[in-house]
Structures are given as structure tokens and as C-alpha cells.
Structure 1
């Protein structure tokens, strides 16, 4: 099923500013929140869809890529906001509501996110070099990324052993404490970050000796990246959750992939079109010939008509690069150049001296090409 336009999901225009986008998401999150719509699968999907749209449109870089390339710019082949779960949503976007528990003031407590502070790993940036052929067809790249991973000794908890890692007794694991005070207006409830666990919901009594309680260490991961066809130099793609790990069950950061094009030995890219400079000698231009040229799909034979002039452009339709997130493809443009030798033999010079006096060797618009070829034929016979 095709994804809906993110602006349509949030019900805002493409010119909407950050505050409008935040406000629109807040209204939808309240409307479709699972606590307000228990066991309603449609509401849950709408809730996730709104969060995914907000993830992209609230981030200036991701929004720019989305505006330029559509869903492929951030979410094609596993990039961007696709596949978000409830934990991701509550941990990443709960704070737009303010306070301890993001939905507490609307649904009377007991929300999924609680007030627990979930840490987020930092983003990673890498460069991926692509050939013109890979760009034209799309490619899967496997890259080794050096990054922060969960500590192999404590499995990311930061604790020396299981007995050293337990739910906070003060907040019961919620990360927040609730206080009720009596006022002249009645009872008032306030929520604040738990002072014992600092909002993490857990206590560590003895730190892991390998990671010193951080829950992280340097490691290497091989990541498979499916790059869509039509990407261009400088374009950035993102893979959600493939960045640095976060300690104690936090949300990992994103992996930002910067596209770098490897120059082709004979083809040049101009947007979605491919440019090839073809050089032929004067005799082939005058008499016509067939030549084999490179394309992104391999070799191709093209016909050069008799009397072809230098500067003529031949078009090979559909032999260019596809647009990202589109079925439209560019063309290959063949620029015909007449090659002139810098040195000639005495025999060649004699022939050229005789030919240059021919009337057909002087520009004469409208002159029949038939008489030219007849004269050439007569001379060489």
C-alpha cells in the first residue's frame, strides 16, 4: 500500500512552519492515542502514521529531502521513519506535550510512555561511493560501520551483574514521581522527574567493569543498505535506528548516508540525462557509418547518417538515469564531434588539396548532397 503524503497526513500545507506542524501532530496524537482508543487497530495505525510524518517534517534535513525526493529520500528500502513502534514514538516525541508524562494531563495517568527518560544514541554519517551504473539501476551495499554498540559484558545495562540492576524503588520504574496536594480548588496532581534514578526508571548499584556503567563500547556492524535508483551526488539518505546505540535500552540514533558519485571514464551525467562525446573522422561523417558506443546498459551500435555535421546531437531514448521515486527515465545524448588530424602524410595532403577546391567543400546551404558524393566517388575511382 502506497504511503500517503506526509503533509496530507498532518493536514498542513507544504509551507507550514515548525509550530504548525507540531500543533497538527499534537492534535492527531491526542485523537488517535491508544489509551483513548483501546483495541482499535485503525486508530493505532493512524497514530503511527502521524508520528512518522512528524518525524520527517519536524526535522529540517529530512523535510528538505522529502520535499525534493518524496518518500524515497528518507524512507525507501528501509530508510527514515518506516517501521516505527510505540516505544520509538513515545520516547522520541512524548516531550512535545511537556511535563513528565506526555499524555497524562489528557488521559488521567497510566500512559505507556510514563515519565521515564529514554536516552537516544547519536547519529552517524558515512559516505557511500556509487558508479554511474549503480546509480542508474539501484544497488544494495554492505558497509562496515564502526560505532557505539551495547557492551558485550553487561548487554547494555551498565550493571556489573543482574543483581546490580533493578527497577527504581522510588518511582517503580516509571521515571517520574507523582505528588497530590490539597488546595482551595481541590486536589492538584503534579509530576516530576524521579530524583533517585534521574528519570531512567532503573538503579545501578554496581557498575560494569568493562564499560564503566555506560552500557556502551566501540564495535563494528555490517549494515546492508538498499539504495534506490536515481540518487545523485550530495544526496543524503537515512536509516532509522542504525546509528550509535543508546545505553540501558534507549533509542539508537540514525545512520546518515551521503551519496558520492564515482566519475565514469567516458559518460557524463546531466541530471537524468547521460552525455557522451562521440568523435568521428571526416570521411565517416561524409560517407556515413555505424559506430559502437558505451551506455549504462553496455555497448550499443548507432548509425551515423551521410553528411552528418559536427555538433549534431543524437538521442537514445530511455538510456539515461531514472528519477528518484518515479518511473520516468532520462535519455542518452550523443554529441557528434568531427575529429581533425593534426598531421597528414604527403599522399593525404595531396588528396585534401584537390578536395578543398571542390565546390562541395564550401558551405552552400541547399546544395544537394548527391552531387557531393558523386564527385567523391568519381575522384577516388
Structure 2
């Protein structure tokens, strides 16, 4: 097996001058020194070879004898199967590079507040985010850029959306982090996303409208839903309309729960209006006589009269 020369061990040409040899030795000493590689026998062996080569080639007289065919110290004769200084240097550099390049950019978390209508219909937003002007550089130059992102229809309050590799730039060639969008809904006067996945809409009705029932228009996002309210629909129970609620991502929609809010008339009233209300109340009392409350009130009235 062929033996390597001192020049090969240091990684320089045979005609290298004293400065080149000195620089090669310093390079090996910095990279393969046992203090920097305490548990690496290959680095220790490479450092030993380089030290032997340096001890001979630094001395002009010893170098001349070596160049004329003199034999160096025993450690200088190494077969090709042994690690070379170049091999160790490349391995050390590779390990250092991997360590530095492992620094992925941080994730950026941004809170975005939208209206319920925007959540129902989806919306595009633009953010100003840091970006590397020279991606892949060891220490990238950071600039700000505009990023447009689309919030899908049906995005919920408290939902977090992730955009891969749109976060803070990495260093030493590391990948960018991710962009995380935390969605918040503004409070709406009559629309609300429910935990059940349904959409709730409040529908104010006058007393007469509730008694007679009918079809009413309910604005839901950018559209209007016609809701059939049965006459005297039980108070406290929603009118459920299938397929008119929150988009489900597959082209459909979930249920819409319409909660009726019967408005009590407020005065001042004209004498005619008061008379009509009294007659209306008397009619309601006769219609509701079977209820527990009215039965109890009737018994109390009978006791008072006796």
C-alpha cells in the first residue's frame, strides 16, 4: 500500500513555500486539535500526523533531507486505509456546517381580527413580514415584504391556520419558520358561530308577527335567507334551517339556528292602541288558560274574591 508524504498529510503541494506550509499546519491544528475533538480518535490521529509533518517541513535542513529521500518518524508512514488530514478536515467542517445550518427560523404568530360576515364568506388579508433578501446565506439580510393570504370561508373564532415556510428567516442556510394566524371574530349584533358548528342568527319579531307567523328575511353574511316561522313558535326554541349556516369546506353549509326575540311594545300608546292591547291580552289569557301559571293565577283570584 502506498505511503503518503508529509506534503499530502498537510494538504499542500511539494513546492509549497514556508508560509503555505505554516498556514496548512495552523489550519489542521485549529480543526483537528484534540481539545476541540476530545472523543474523536480519527481527529487525534490526523493531528499527530500533521504535527510530525510540520516538525520536519518547518526546518529547511530537515526538509531538504526529507526531499532527498530521507525517512521521517514512524508515524509519518501511513497506509491509504488510514484517515488523511483532508478527510478529517472535511468531516469536521461538515459536522460544524450541519450544526450551524440546523438553525431553522422562528415561527411567527399573528392575530387577525375579522367580522363574522368575513368569516362566513372568506377574505384575503395582507401582512408585512420579515423575509431574507439573500435566502441560503449564512447570515441573511432581512427585509420586509407584503404577503397576501386567504382566510377560507367558515374560519372559526380561535382557529389557528398555518402557512409553511412563511415565518422568520433561518440562519446559516436554515429553512424559514412557519406563519401562524390566530383568527378572532368581532362581536356581531345578531350573528354568532356556535360551538356545535351551527350558525346562530337572532331575529327580532313584533308581537303580532310572532303570533301570526310568516316568512322573514334573515341576512347571513353576503346573502339573505328566507326563514319560515310557524305561528306562535315556542319561545326559547330556535327555528332550524338546514344547509344555510357555516360553510363546511366541501361546498355545503351546516344548519342555521334562528332564535326569535319577541319585542314588547313600548309606550306611550294612544287610547285606541291601549284598547287594542287590552282586548289582545284578554284573548291571549283565554287561549293560555290551560297553562300552570294561569291556573295558579285563577285560583289566587278566586281566593281574593272570597
TM-score bracket for the superposition, by shorter chain length:
0.5 to 0.7
Instruction: Give 1:327 deviation, angstroms.
Output: 6.2
**Could you tell me the TM-score, scaled by structure 2's length?**
0.54
Instruction: Give 1:317 deviation, angstroms.
Output: 0.8
Q: 1:248 to 1:266 in 2, by over 3 A?
A: same
- Aligned pairs for 1:205-284 within 5 A: 214-217=139-142, 219-271=143-195, 272-284=197-209
* 1:293–1:302 Cα contact (<8 Å) kept: yes
C-alpha separation between the residues in 2 aligned to 1:134 and 1:355? 43
- Residue 133 of structure 1 is matched in structure 2 by 117
Instruction: Give 1:132 deviation, angstroms.
Output: 2.2
- Residue 132 of structure 2 is matched in structure 1 by 149
C-alpha separation between the residues in 1 aligned to 2:171 and 2:132? 9
* 2:227–2:241 Cα contact (<8 Å) kept: no
Q: Which runs of 5+ in 2 are unaligned?
A: 1-39, 41-89, 292-306
Larger Rg: 2
* 1:143–1:224 Cα contact (<8 Å) kept: yes
Instruction: Give 1:300 deviation, angstroms.
Output: 2.4
Q: Deviations over 1:76-119 (max 9, x none)?
A: xxxxxxxxxxxxxxxxxxxxxxx9xxxxxxxxxx99xx533213
C-alpha separation between the residues in 2 aligned to 1:304 and 1:342? 24
**Could you tell me the TM-score, scaled by structure 1's length?**
0.45
SS in 2 for 1:357: helix
* 1:216–1:245 Cα contact (<8 Å) kept: no
- The answer to whether residue 271 in structure 2 is matched with residue 339 in structure 1 is no
C-alpha separation between the residues in 1 aligned to 2:214 and 2:133? 65
| Greater share of helix | 2
- The answer to whether residue 289 in structure 2 is matched with residue 305 in structure 1 is no
Instruction: Give 1:222 deviation, angstroms.
Output: 1.4
Q: 1:304 to 1:230 in 2, by over 3 A?
A: closer
C-alpha separation between the residues in 1 aligned to 2:107 and 2:282? 72
Q: 1:297 to 1:273 in 2, by over 3 A?
A: farther
C-alpha separation between the residues in 2 aligned to 1:328 and 1:321? 8
The one of the two structures with greater contact order (alpha-carbon pairs below 8 A, sep at least 6) is 1
SS in 2 for 1:284: helix
* 1:150–1:156 Cα contact (<8 Å) kept: no
Q: Quick one: which of 201, 221, 241 aligns to 1:316?
A: 241
- Aligned pairs for 1:61-76 within 5 A: none
Instruction: Give 1:363 deviation, angstroms.
Output: 0.8
CA RMSD in angstroms, aligned pairs only: 3.4
